[in-house]
Amino acid sequence: MSDLIQHLTDKSFSKGIAQGITVVDFWAPWCAPCREIAPVTEALATEFKGKVAFKKLNVDDFTPLSEQYEVLSMPTLVIFKEGLPVDRIVGSLPIDQLRSLIQQHL
């Protein structure tokens, strides 16, 4: 995994999304579509370096946070701006669509 993508925990989550634009990938190790989208988010993390932070949260390890953000399907990417959720992407989308959705928040 790219060192541009930080894994969040319940203790680091609030600080991890507090500043700027952050895309959080709510995922689980057993989720095939989550594994499918991982290289896409890694590519986007490289592409948006310095503009958008990319983070991951394992929903199995931190279920209360996934419930708080109403993550019902995976993968779910939630885009945060200054700590507030501003958009959500459910499912595995092609890189061009994801790029376009993220760019709308820059």
| Residues noted as catalytic | 31, 34
Closest CA to 73 of 29, 34, 21, 36: 34
How many other β-carbons are positioned within 10 Å of the β-carbon of residue 47?
13
32-47 and 95-103 are packed helices; what angle lies between their axes, rounded to 10 degrees?
A: 50
Contact 98, 14 (CB under 8 A): no
- Is the backbone peptide bond immediately before 64 cis, with ω within 30 degrees of 0? no
How many other β-carbons are positioned within 10 Å of the β-carbon of residue 11?
9
